[in-house]
Chains A and B, each alone.
Chain A
Amino acid sequence: MNLPVLVGLMVVKITLVLVVFLTTIAYVVLMERKVLGFIQLRYGPNRVGPWGLLQPLADMIKLLFKEEFTPPHANKTLFVLAPMIVAITAFMPFAAIPFADRILPDSLTIYGYQVDLTVAALNRGVIADVNIGLLYIFAISSLAVYGAVIGGWASNNKYSLLGGLRLCAQMVSYEVALGLSVIGVLMVAGSLSLVTIVEAQKSMWFIVYQPLGFLLYLCAAFAECARTPFDLIECENELVAGYQTEYSSMKWGLLMLGEYGHMIIASALAVTLFLGGWQGPFLPPIVWFLIKTFALIFLFIWVRGTYPRFRFDQLMYFGWKVLIPLALFNILLTGVVMMYL
């Protein structure tokens, strides 16, 4: 009897989180342009609204009204499918990331109905507390590479194809390092559920126990999001714009959404795994979560404004011969310490 109410509340919660997430993506783009402007001693966007605050809105309207163009010899279905894959795989991981502790009381009275909110974790600051949360996030984000590969192939353009293949090789290589770098956290927390992992960091953040793991995670995450210094798909002088070359209008907008979405997910996951999630003194949990996540996003932008790009062979060397052995060593070290201390 309560089922429709519960489903309704769930839909409201998911919609709210998604809207906030999309707005955050839009403003992270603005933040990136502003911070890069600051680093490069220029203003950045400042014409639309006060301090350029309405710039994301203007950008979106522009994208929506641009001409939708599909190259004549492209594979139409796959060409449309690729941006969807990129965007969806960027949104879905957030379902398992806890952004606050409790957001509602255990039960509510809605129009005379007593609704038990502990069902499906409706009262908690996470959409779905699944017991394989971390694996779920890795499963979804390991699918992101299809967007690049399929988009590059369906565009029927050599630059797109090569860009897609390059990104594919990069993401497959760094996924291994990314997966291995968080195993230390799993060993310390003893759980794959992200809610449990955050609660296990009540007294001490895991970055203290896993400094090497955090560093490896950051390197691998930068490569997974294809951000500087690993942004080889955006290597204009070699590949024009990689797999995105043939995309225009809102399809390109979706690719951008996906790219920034992945960056936010990577930051939020780092906060959850290493920086104590929503835990923190005085301020409400959700504020702590936002502060930490935006600090990491700022780091992403800061690095982009500071470092040059790797060469492709350097990228592969770094991934396979530096990150993966170090990650394995980190697991061994964690095991030894946990066994004998």
Chain B
Amino acid sequence: MQVLFLILAAVALISGVLVVIQVNPVRSALYLILNFFTVAGIYLLAHAEFIAAIQVIVYAGAIMVLFLFVIMLLNLRQPEEGGEKQHLAQKISGAALAGVTALLVIYTCTRINLGPAKEMVPGFGSTEAVARSLFTDYLLPFEVTSVLLLVALIGAVILARARLD
């Protein structure tokens, strides 16, 4: 189990870095898909089968397909190596942002209590357990999220219509 986790985690980190440093957006997208798979594998190791399946269906199977679709529709030519020169301000702000994020991550890591894990509740991570917590304890956030998605949908339709008229 531990070996599997280490392999998955390593692949996830490497593919994550590759997503950022690739010049070609299609390759970036493909590495991101690989990343989603390794994360789904980690969920499986944590006995969260439902979340793992949903991770693959939603992220790898739907969202990334649309990403690839858009990349291929808009960017049919291969980008030339190097690309545009970056501004100094871009570099400084990027580095600053990365530094702040790194500090936050380190701060959070020091606060984690790495003791032995708690005893697992029977049925943890099953579809029933996820459904029960979604529709009881987290009903309000769940419904608000659906409204948010609806708003995004309507916004997209309005933008498309404005272009047409």
Contact = CB atoms under 8 A, between A and B. Distances in A.
Interface stretch (A10-18, A64-72, A132-140, A293-301): A132-140
B160 to A, nearest CB: 14
Contacts of B22: none
A131 B57 CA distance: 16
Contacts of A152: 72
A143 B60 contact: yes
Given A135-B57, A139-B56, A161-B76, A145 B50 contact: no
A152 B26 CA distance: 13
B91 to A, nearest CB: 31
Contacts of A165: 69, 72-73
Interface string A137-157: 011101101100110110000
Contacts of A130: 49
Interface in B92-109: none
A143 B69 contact: no
A172 B50 contact: no
A130 B127 CA distance: 12
B72 A153 contact: yes
Contacts of A192: 127
A168 B69 contact: yes
A142 B62 contact: yes
A199 B120 CA distance: 29
A175 B62 contact: yes
B27 to A, nearest CB: 9
Nearest to A136: B53
Contacts of B65: 142, 145-146, 149, 168, 171-172
Chain B residues touching A, majority SS: helix
B68 interface: yes
A135 B52 CA distance: 10
Contacts of A131: 49, 126-127
B49 to A, nearest CB: 5
B56 A172 contact: no
Contacts of A139: 53, 56-57, 60-61
Contact of A172 (B54, B66, B127): B66
A142 B72 contact: no
A110 to B, nearest CB: 28
Given A142-B60, A146-B33, A172-B65, A132 B49 contact: yes
A5 interface: no
A318 B73 CA distance: 24
Contacts of B62: 142, 172, 175
A132 B50 contact: yes
A146 B57 CA distance: 13
B127 A132 contact: yes
Interface string B55-79: 0110011100110110011001000
Contacts of B127: 131-132, 135, 192
Contacts of A150: 30, 68
A143 B60 CA distance: 7
A332 interface: no
A169 interface: yes
A95 B89 CA distance: 54
A172 B69 CA distance: 11
A165 B53 CA distance: 25
Nearest to B50: A132
Given A149-B68, A165-B73, A142 B33 contact: no
A232 to B, nearest CB: 16
A143 B61 contact: yes
A328 to B, nearest CB: 14
Given A139-B60, A146-B65, A168-B69, 9 more contacts: A135-B127, A138-B53, A138-B61, A139-B57, A140-B56, A142-B61, A146-B68, A150-B68, A175-B61
Interface of B: 26, 30, 33, 49-50, 53-54, 56-57, 60-62, 65-66, 68-69, 72-73, 76, 126-127
A-B pairs, 4 with minimum CB distance:
A142-B61, A135-B53, A139-B56, A132-B49
